[in-house]
């Protein structure tokens, strides 16, 4: 089937280029020429560039959410009725994130895309991801809530986003950081090595003491 071949080749090429340069900076002509398909193929198979971008994300996020739901199912039945420990939840998520892209491409690309989706703030992409895949994240946070009853809801919300920032930021900027680290410390770091370093930091962040009592809140800067 030639169709599948063309579609796959477009997606494979697009995700790499998107990750390297960003969405707006990657033209359809660059994608199609490097993928050795016709320029019109993108609009024919995907409808528009915007849909192509979403398709690139869907190819990562669809397997991830499906698998992660399965992992959470298994975790919940194993701790039937009880509370799943925080570290186990984090471990499961990390493992799932690691497994999914390993099947096809590199984790680096996936993380870079996630980082872009968050910073390339505007409109359609963040909304698309939120509305399409928000349910898994909601389920996960609910489990985290039960695992950390001592944390106020708002505090837990922010800390989850703190560690999310750590992971996405680090792994999406991995190449540049790795170059610096290698130059300065002569040490080559693999993704698995980085995750090994991340684990105690993330756990410590989630278990950090609560901030001092909120001072009388004055008007803010922004």
The footprint of a second copy on residues 28-87 (CB under 8 A) is: none
Q: How far is the CB of 29 from DNA (least distance, A)?
A: 5
Read off the tokens for 184. 């300065």
Interface residue with a second copy, options 34, 118, 139, 145 (CB under 8 A)? 118
User: In terms of CB distance, is 13 or 96 closer to DNA?
Assistant: 13
**Interaction of residue 168 with a second copy, rule CB under 8 A:** yes
Q: How far is the CB of 55 from DNA (least distance, A)?
A: 12
Read off the tokens for 178. 């790795």
- Binding mask 44-63 toward DNA (x if CB under 7 A, else -) reads xx--xxx-------------
**Interaction of residue 135 with DNA, rule CB under 7 A:** no
CA distance 203 to 163: 9
Q: How far is the CB of 10 from a second copy (least distance, A)?
A: 21
The footprint of DNA on residues 7-46 (CB under 7 A) is: 26-30, 37-45
Q: How far is the CB of 107 from a second copy (least distance, A)?
A: 6
Return the closest-CA partner of residue 148 out of 95, 205, 199.
Answer: 205
Query: Other C-beta atoms within 10 Å of 71: how many?
Result: 16
Q: Which residues bind DNA (CB under 7 A)?
A: 2-3, 5-6, 26-30, 37-45, 48-50
């Amino acid at each position: 089937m030639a169709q599948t071949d063309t579609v796959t080749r477009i997606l494979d090429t697009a995700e790499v280029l998107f990750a390297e340069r960003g969405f707006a900076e990657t033209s359809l002509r660059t994608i199609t020429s490097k993928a050795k398909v016709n320029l019109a193929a993108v609009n024919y198979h995907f409808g528009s560039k915007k849909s192509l971008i979403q398709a690139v994300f869907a190819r990562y996020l669809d397997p991830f959410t499906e698998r992660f739901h399965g992992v959470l199912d298994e975790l919940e039945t194993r701790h039937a009725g009880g509370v799943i420990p925080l570290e186990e939840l984090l471990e499961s998520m990390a493992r799932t994130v690691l497994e999914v892209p390993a099947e096809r491409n590199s984790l680096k690309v996936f993380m870079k895309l996630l980082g872009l989706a968050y910073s390339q703030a505007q409109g359609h992409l963040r909304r698309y991801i939120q509305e399409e895949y928000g349910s898994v994240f909601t389920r996960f946070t609910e489990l985290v809530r039960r695992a950390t009853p001592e944390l106020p809801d708002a505090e837990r919300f922010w800390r989850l986003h703190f560690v999310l920032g750590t992971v996405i930021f680090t792994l999406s900027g991995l190449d540049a950081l790795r170059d610096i680290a290698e130059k300065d410390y002569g040490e080559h770091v693999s993704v698995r090595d980085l995750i090994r370093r991340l684990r105690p930091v993330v756990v410590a962040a989630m278990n950090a003491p609560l901030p001092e009592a909120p001072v009388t809140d004055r008007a803010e800067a922004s």
